[in-house]
Chains A and B, each alone.
Chain A
Amino acid sequence: MEIFGTWLAAFFTLGIISFLYRDNAWYKLCESIFVGISAGYWFVTLFWDNIHGLFWERITERHDYWLLIGASLGLMMLLRLIPPIGWISRWPLSFVVGATAGLYIINYFASNVMVQVENTLMPLFSAKFGDPLFSASPYSIVGNIVVAAGTFTGLVYFFFSKEHKGAFGGMAKIGIWTIMITFGASFGYTVMSRMSLLIGRMDFIFGDWLGLIR
């Protein structure tokens, strides 16, 4: 059975890779099967985890009747299918948007604004506050300056209440350069990621399937 699974996986892997040459029937077959299976898989997973696991089991076994409120909101969401009363579906949507926004504001504001600003406040020439002057390695000193200047000029670039002219414009230019360098690093990492996936597949084809790799 395991051998059958391996051969099947290899069939689909090669089918998808064949797209590199050009679109063909094999690729189309693999793609359609993949789309169909993933839709089915998600349906089954969500049904068993949400409707059965989180709702039905908890109602019947643990008698957690608060869940009925959530379930009725869920039902309202489905009313979109009946156009005359479809507007009711906006209520649960508002609930979800409101609750998520409330949670996100605190989380994002604390983690991505407060903590980040706090950690940008550092003496430029030391490893951390309280350490003697020039205690950091040249590498960290450059790092500190890049972080402080990069954050500041990045903010300048995204400041919309003043024209980018003169010194302010110059700082904005440094800001956008910093952002572009970050994008470059990010792109490099993405190439690395995609290559890793390809390596993983090739290891499967030549190792697990064909057994050519030791």
Chain B
Amino acid sequence: MKNVPISYPTFFIILPLLIILNSALTAQPEVTPIDSAAALIPRNITAKDFKYDRGETIELNWKPADRVNQEMLDGYEVYRAEESSDSFVSIGFTGPDVTRFKDNGVVSEKRYRYRVAAIVGDVPYLSEATPPASPTMELVNFNLANLFIIGCLIAGAVTYFIGHARRGKKLFIRKIAGLEAIDEAIGRATEMGRPILFVPGINDMDDVQTIAGITLLGRVAKVVADYDIKINMPVSRSIVMTTARETIKEAYMGAGRPDAYNDDMVRYITDEQFGYVAAVDGIMVREKPATCFYLGAFYAESLILAETGNSIGAIQIAGTAQPAQLPFFVAACDYTLIGEELFAASAYLSNEPKQLGSLKGQDVGKLLAMVVIIVGVVAATISQSWNIAFFTRLYDLMIKLFTVQN
């Protein structure tokens, strides 16, 4: 082969040509052919009112173009215009894998049109405008129908059993072990001839735990009045003080010794949480009660009280429905009424239709949950193992019944 010498003028023509060619090659995506542009445009765009809201959202759904895969796309951009205008404004982006958009920048009953663009690089491939849609307000959220039905079932059971109890029919409640513990604890105070301390929690009478505590106080006060034991009850709410005084007074009248009662048995200390705790601690250390009751709503003071009671060697009975405080009572007290046991004990003792009926009604709810859990778990496991259609349908039904949509 013979070498062809390249002259300088030729070189100067070829170099710019090469540069142009090179830049044309690297910038290829910019000159997209028309037919591939059409293939990128998202299709089947629907804009409709988002159901069951206050009329402030329109929901958009679309499908990616047939030949589009997610790696190609940078995402979608959504544009909106009012029905009468043609100026579409960008209102948001979604990722390439999302084909749904909720527009909550709209005003109820106005009509809007939308366009959705697939974004590749910086280039939007715009769809046609959708037909106008307008957001409307719905008064009832039918998505929550299952919640309503199950709620009605339990509320209905509560109402039914309250009525049942009011008509004087007997409702069975199992014996609560804690009640025996209460009797034993009072017995010990009698033997030792030392006082009983009763703390009804730090909430007011609007808390159902306090009410349950006061109901149990009735039981304690009855024994106290019968055996003439000293009871000491520091409280942190004025209304609780009044109610507790009434309860104890009633017990003393029932025992036929109204003269033995005096108002100082129940004393108001302060509403301030730790001020109250400090005072109760002081009382414990000074008076060394043989038995301490903590029945009601407790917070951070639970362990402080129970520890002090422990240090003076008192028998301690606690009961609260505050989940965070239960571990401390369980650890430091001789017996603890856990959560609903407090209410059950109160209902058991008071025989009050409202308390009894509520407890029974809630039992119906618990029974429902137990049945659903057993059936659901069995159905799911069997359906998974042997793929039996009946169990799959059963499982789906259970899930549908308990799914809360928002």
Contacts and interface: CB of A to CB of B under 8 A. Distances in A.
B215 to A, nearest CB: 15
A151 B369 CA distance: 10
A87 to B, nearest CB: 13
Interface in A49-64: none
B224 interface: no
Contact of B328 (A106, A114, A187): A187
Interface string B372-390: 1110110011011100000
Interface residues of B, number: 50
Nearest to B345: A160
Contacts, number: 120
A164 to B, nearest CB: 7
A105 B152 CA distance: 12
Contacts of B344: 160
B172 A161 contact: yes
B339 A121 contact: no
Contacts of B146: 114
Contacts of A29: none
B363 interface: yes
Interface residues of A, number: 45
Contacts of B398: 121
Task: Name the residue among A110, A123, A156 with the largest chain B CB count within 10 angstroms.
Answer: A123
A162 B174 contact: yes
B331 A187 contact: yes
A176 B380 CA distance: 26
A129 B175 contact: no
A131 B380 CA distance: 11
B112 to A, nearest CB: 28
A129 B396 CA distance: 10
Given A133-B385, A158-B339, A152 B366 contact: no
Contacts of B360: 160-161
B402 A121 contact: yes
A179 B172 CA distance: 25
A109 B173 contact: no
Nearest to A111: B404
Contacts of A162: 174
Given A105-B151, A148-B373, A115 B326 contact: no
Interface string A111-131: 101110110111111100101
Interface string A172-194: 00001001100110110010000
Task: Name the residue among B340, B363, B369, B384 with the largest chain A CB count within 10 angstroms.
Answer: B384
B172 A115 contact: no
B340 A152 contact: no
Contacts of A113: 365, 369
A121 B399 CA distance: 8
B21 to A, nearest CB: 54
A179 B327 CA distance: 10
Given A124-B377, A158-B366, A190-B327, A118 B399 contact: yes
A205 to B, nearest CB: 23
Given A115-B402, A121-B395, A123-B380, 19 more contacts: A105-B151, A117-B402, A118-B404, A121-B372, A121-B380, A123-B377, A132-B384, A148-B373, A148-B377, A152-B373, A156-B370, A159-B363, A159-B366, A159-B370, A160-B173, A160-B176, A160-B344, A186-B323, A190-B328
List 8 tightest A-B contacts by C-beta distance, closest first: A121-B376, A183-B327, A118-B402, A123-B384, A123-B380, A187-B327, A186-B327, A110-B404
Interface of B: 144, 146-147, 150-151, 172-176, 206, 272, 274-275, 323-324, 326-328, 330-331, 338-341, 344, 359-360, 363, 365-367, 369-370, 372-374, 376-377, 380-381, 383-385, 395, 398-399, 402-404
